[in-house]
Structures are given as structure tokens and as C-alpha cells.
Chains A and B, each alone.
Chain A
Amino acid sequence: MSETLAAVRAEFTKVRCVRTTYLALLLFVPLSLLVAALDGASARSAIDSHNPLLRAGFTPQQAGLDGILYGQLALIVFGVLVVSSEYGSGMVRVSLLAVPRRGRLFAVKSLVAAAVTAAVAIPVTVLGYLATQAALGPHGASIGDAGVPLALGGAVGYLTLMSLFALGVAATARSAVLPLAVLLPMVLAGSHILTVIGATRQLAQYFPDQAGLQMLTVGSHRAVTGFAVLLAWTAAALACGFLRQWRWDG
């Protein structure tokens, strides 16, 4: 078996067997689905009671993608832990003894993290959409509506890239604390707040998460631009992370 394939197998085993990494990945499922269903249910009662608090641009199609926006927190933690579990424990040395080509080790690790994220993101994104529509009941939309399949695909791409972005940031920091302290608030609120303030709105749309959100916006005309911006962020983070691993000494 080729050395790269062997390394891929080993990285899969690590993801599956290191408990914290595995738990972060699993947490994505209930978090996304629960929020998706609650979102649909609360929107339904708001529509039924003509509640003015229902946000202006509400569409059932877009609401179907709200769950994974919360679920992505778990995937960001996953991306960070995949790398920080190595540096934090000293396992990185064992990994480098087993796969001493640092480029190969980093590429394989990133690839496996991306593959695992996508494999979980695909069913959860679809199921989350369906859960929201089911909870909306009579107000629900179809999964075949215009722009929806594309947005669902975009969502899987977005989640995968965000997880990789987190991996790259963690590899650059060689730890978990700082990346999590920056990434989680950014995704939760930070960059969204910037979009509300007029002066920083222009800037905020180039943040990785804000740009990437265009990928999962139903009917967005800027999906490709958003994808390109998030891809650039991810590539830059991975490059920095790789450089830091390349230069790691110990």
C-alpha cells in the first residue's frame, strides 16, 4: 500500500478514536437538527399569530439552512481539535515519526478532516432543511424549490471550508485556546455585528464566515464571490498552518 494511503487510514483512525475530536464531530448532528426544527416551529407560530417580530426577509427556504449555522460551531471545534490534540498531547512527535514527510502528514490530515466534515455535513444539511419544513407545517417549502439544491450544496461546501479554515488557524497557533477564542465569537456574533454597522459593512463582507454565507443563501448572486473569498481565507490559513508545522522543531 502506498505510504500516503496508509497515512490516510491512520488519520481516519485518529479522528474516530480520539474521544474529544469524535464528540465535537458528533455534536454537530443534534445541534444542527434541533435548531432547525425549533426554528421552523417558532416561525410557524409567528406566522400563524401574525407576529410582527418575524424578520422581514423571512423565507421558509432560507430558514431551512438556519440549523447548520449553529451546528457549524461544533465543526469549527472539530477542525481545531484535529490539530490541537496533536500539539497539546505530544502525539505530534509520534505522528512525525510515523509519517516524517511533513507536507504529506499535513495534507493527509487536512484531507481527512475535510472528507469527514463533508460526509457528516451532507446528510445533516438535507435533514436539517427537511426538519425545518416539517416544523413549518403548512408554511413549509419543498426541497426542490428554485435555488434550494444549490444552496444546500453551497452549505456543505461552506461547512467543509470553515472546518478546514479552523484547522489551518489551529495549526498556525499550535494550540486550541486562541483559535477557539477568536473563531467562535466571530462566527456567533462578531462579524455579523460588523455588517450592521454601516461603516464596517464593506469590510465585513470579506470576513471568511460572512463571505461564505453567500454560498448558502438561496438565490444569492454573490455565491461565487463568497466562495472565492472563503476559499482564499482557507488556503491562506492552511498555508500558514503548514509552514508552522514545517518549521516545528522538537
Chain B
Amino acid sequence: MIDVYDLTKRYGQNTVVDGLSFTVRPGAVTGFLGPNGAGKSTTMRMMLGLTHPDSGSARIAGRPYHELRHPVRQVGALLETAVAHRGLTAANHLRWIAESNGIPRGRVAQVLDLVGLSGAARQRLGTFSLGMGQRLGLAAALLGDPAVLVLDEPVNGLDAEGIRWLRELLRHQAAEGRTVLVSSHLMTEMSLVADHLIVVHRGRLLADTSTADFIRRHARSYVRVRTPEAVMLARELDRRGATSTMAPDGSLEVGGMPAAEINRLAAAAGLTLDELSTQTGSLEDTFLGLVGDRSDARV
């Protein structure tokens, strides 16, 4: 369980996190969604005690991070900027973290195996690719078998196979009753893995709801109509208060009127239709639309 209460962080004139409050519950994957610069990373760093908030508090399992005993065994964290020293080998990097929290040394080989880095255990980190570095970061997060995971953009740098592996891992961790918070700026990615969404923009909370509910409420749908007499149909639609725009391929994208009604309207006007289909806007469009519309208001 993670509790964020009225968290605020300013850098000079710039308020990066602005009175943010939410709770992340165990047993589910919670997506922390927002465009770049929305304040996600800063919020996560404040949860983990790396950044001092100007006001408000963040608690994990009821305590501020720095009060947790052997924190690596309670919270697994992945941050873009928290990286290993290039001169260390992968195994030695995990080894000192394990030692610092009294984690048995055998666990190092286990997590290296889990993230698919067994073969690179003795390789120096300066030679690691972006994806390997990300896997090592995940290994470090999982090292203490923690009940809470806080992962900042874990998908970055992973290949398609790695992303699928990560999704399964996160779902599995949540199914075991752990608290899993994952940030991303990609709505599509979040919709595939998150049960719950916390959406932020400009440091403020935009939405705190289940993923299904978020999509239902905010997804924009329209009807695609293809007809030889597009101009005439557009005029008819306009008269009835529906909006239509001409797509580059000559079809019409109609909003504000269901497909059946468009069909009746066309029949009444004696227009033939070659295609009539309801389309759902992409999740990315949904998200960008929401962020664009409501940049200063809470949904």
C-alpha cells in the first residue's frame, strides 16, 4: 500500500507536483500515466525519499521510506536516473545491494536468471545496452522479494519480447497480492497491463479510476461512412446537428450520431452507402484528448 497525501514539489517558479493525493492498493497493477513532464518521476522519487517534498507526504506500508527497516526487502524500485557504476559487474552491483539489506547472496543469481542476465553476470556494466541496463534495474528491484514495486517507465529500452515478459511479471506480482505501481507516458501500454489508472498532468491528478472505466468514459468513437455522394451526405448530417469531417481517402468521419441513424438518414435522402462502421479512437488519442481538454481541471 502506498499513500500519497497532498504532495507538492516546486523547482523555482515551476510547480512540478501540485497537491497530489492518491492511494495505490495491493493486488493490482496500478498505472501511473501522464505525458512527459507531468511529474510522475518526481512523485516517485518523493515516495522513495530521494527528493524532499515542499509539502505533503508519501508513505509506504504506513511509513515514510527512510523509516522502513531494510527497505530493499519491502520496496523494489526502478528509476531511470538510479543507475549502477559502470565499473561494476552486474553480479557485484546486485551483491552490494543485497549485502546492504541483509539479503542472502544466493538471491543475486536467482534474480539475474529471472531477468535473463545470467550470461552477463560477470560483465562490466559499461558494456551493457539500454535494454540490459533496464533488466538489471528490474533485477535490483526484485532482489529483496518486496511487497511493493515502484517502477518508473520500466518498458523503456526493452524489446518486444522483454515487454511481454515484463507484463506477465507485473500481473503475476499483483496476483500474489503485491502493490505494483508502474509509470508510463504511453496509454496503450498501460491499457495492456494496468488494472487501475492514476492519470496526472502538470503535477495534478486528472483521474484515479479502473482502466476499463477510464476507457469507457473517455474513449471517443465516431462513424466512418463511405459514399459516392459524400458532400450531399455531409450537408444532411450538418442539418441534423452531427459533425462530419472528410478524411484524406474521401470517407466521412461522423461524430454525434449513431451508425443506425446515419443509415436511416441516408436511406431517406436516397444516398447509397459503401461503408458504414463505428470506430473507436485509439487509446493514445483518448489520452491526448483528455490531457489537451482538461489540462487544468480535475475529471
Where the two chains meet, the residues of A that have a C-beta atom closer than 8 Å to any C-beta of B are 1, 3, 6-7, 9-11, 13-14, 17-20, 85-86, 89-91, 93-102, 249-250
A6-B101 CB under 8 A given contacts A91-B83, A94-B82, A94-B84: yes
Asked if A100 meets B71 with Cβ closer than 8 Å, knowing A6-B102, A85-B85, A91-B84, the reply is: yes
Determine whether B88 belongs to the interface, using a CB cutoff of 8 Å to chain A. yes
Chain B residues in the interface with A (C-beta under 8 A): 45, 48-52, 65-66, 68-72, 75, 77, 79, 81-89, 92, 95-97, 99-102, 124, 140
| Contact A10-B99, Cβ < 8 Å, known A96-B50, A98-B72 | yes
Question: Contact between A90 and B82 (Cβ–Cβ < 8 Å)?
Answer: yes
Cα A83 to Cα B48 with chains together (Å): 21
User: Given A86, A94, A96, A102, which contacts B140 in the complex, CB threshold below 8 Å?
Assistant: A94
In the complex, number of A-B residue pairs with CB atoms less than 8 Å apart: 91
Query: Who on chain A is nearest to B89 by CB?
Result: A17
List A contacts of B51 (CB < 8 A).
249-250
Report whether A6 and B83 are in contact in the complex, using a CB–CB cutoff of 8 Å. Answer: no
Across the two chains, which residue of chain A brings its CB closest to B83?
A90
CA distance A69 to B209 in the complex (A): 66
Which residues of the partner chain B approach A1 to less than 8 Å between Cβ atoms?
102
Nearest CB on B from A245, distance (A): 12
- A3 vs B102: C-alpha distance in the bound complex, in angstroms? 8
Given A20-B87, A94-B140, A100-B65, is A9 in contact with B82 using a C-beta cutoff of 8 Å? Answer: no
- Which of A14, A19, A95, A249 contacts B52 (CB under 8 A)? A249
List the A side residues contacting B95 at CB < 8 Å.
13, 17
Which partner residue on chain B sits nearest A99 by CB separation?
A: B100
Residues of B within 8 A of A9 (CB): 99-100
Query: What would 8 A/B residue contacts be, using CB atoms closer than 8 Å?
Result: A9-B99, A17-B92, A18-B88, A20-B87, A95-B100, A97-B75, A98-B96, A250-B45
